[in-house]
Amino acid sequence: MSLGFKCIDIGLDKLEEAAAIHAASYPADHVSGSMGHDLIVEYYSGFLTGKNFFLGCVSEDSITELMGVVVFGKGMPLNITEFKSKNRSKLIKFFLSNPRVFFRFLLKRFAGYIQKSDRFDEAENIILSIVVRENVVGAGSFLMGLVDDYCATNNVCKLGLYVSCSNVRALNFYYKTGFKVRAFVSGQYYMEKNFRVSE
Ligand SMILES: CC(C)(COP(=O)(O)OP(=O)(O)OC[C@H]1O[C@@H](n2cnc3c(N)ncnc32)[C@H](O)[C@@H]1OP(=O)(O)O)[C@@H](O)C(=O)NCCC(=O)NCCS
């Protein structure tokens, strides 16, 4: 299904839908994608306020059905730390009831310790999550266009993101939208896109 899209701000009323898209579309080996609906809602709720942006898109002819979302901006590490400390017991429960996910998570952590990670300066602005409804074509490019417009009009000189080395679909997407691999960190690539800033 290929459509034209419109941008919307994501608020409380759209969190459940955003979480459902996240759970259905993220690859099965992705921790946040397997966390379960309630924890994903909790995870995303931390990005409704603060220094970041939480945008979504709907098709031009439907004002209701969400097609995809993107979370980007500043302050991501702090939000994630808060999410982890607020939901420690739920996360432990989740890992205990999903030993495969837990094992993969531990393996990644372990690989991070033994593999040599590259040194790099992380961009201040990061894309934390970009995800689209299954079988919808073009929504990812539309959302990335919104992020690009923000960066270009707000003098953002570089934008970063992390992507699992096994997420071929996302890697293709990021190459296509102008990102380059800058570093390898614990089974993930850190990718970056540069923007021209006006003096
Ligand atoms: C990554 C993602 C947001 C891209 O959105 P999208 O709507 O599929 O992307 P578009 O339809 O705009 O396609 C843009 C480009 O992405 C790449 N791409 C999209 N789907 C692909 C697929 N199934 N396989 C390989 N490459 C693909 C192609 O390069 C495509 O360009 P082309 O159509 O000219 O070949 C989407 O695939 C997604 O939600 N993935 C699951 C969540 C995820 O992994 N997010 C990234 C986490 S780091």
- What CATH number should be reported for the domain whose range is 5-194? 3.40.630.30
pTM for the predicted model, two decimal places: 0.92
Looking at residue 115, its pLDDT comes to 75
Task: Decide whether any atom of ligand 1 lies within 6 Å of the 179 Cβ.
Answer: no
Q: What is the pLDDT averaged over residues 41-66?
A: 90
Conformation bin of residue 173: beta by default, left when phi > 0, alpha when psi is -120 to 50: alpha
Digit-coded pLDDT (tens) for 1-44:
556 999 999 999 999 999 999 999 998 888 888 999 999 999 99
Q: Residue 50's pLDDT band (boundaries 50, 70, 90)? A: confident
Percentage helix, strand, coil, to 5, in the chain? Answer: 45, 25, 30
User: Domain coordinates of the chain in residue numbers?
Assistant: 5-194
Name the residue with the closest Cα to ligand 1, atom 5.
140
Name the residue with the closest Cα to ligand 1, atom 10.
138
3-state SS class at 137:
strand
Digit-coded pLDDT (tens) for 156-197:
999 999 999 999 999 999 999 999 999 998 888 999 999 987
Task: Decide whether any atom of ligand 1 lies within 6 Å of the 130 Cβ.
Answer: yes
Name the residue with the closest Cα to ligand 1, atom 9.
140
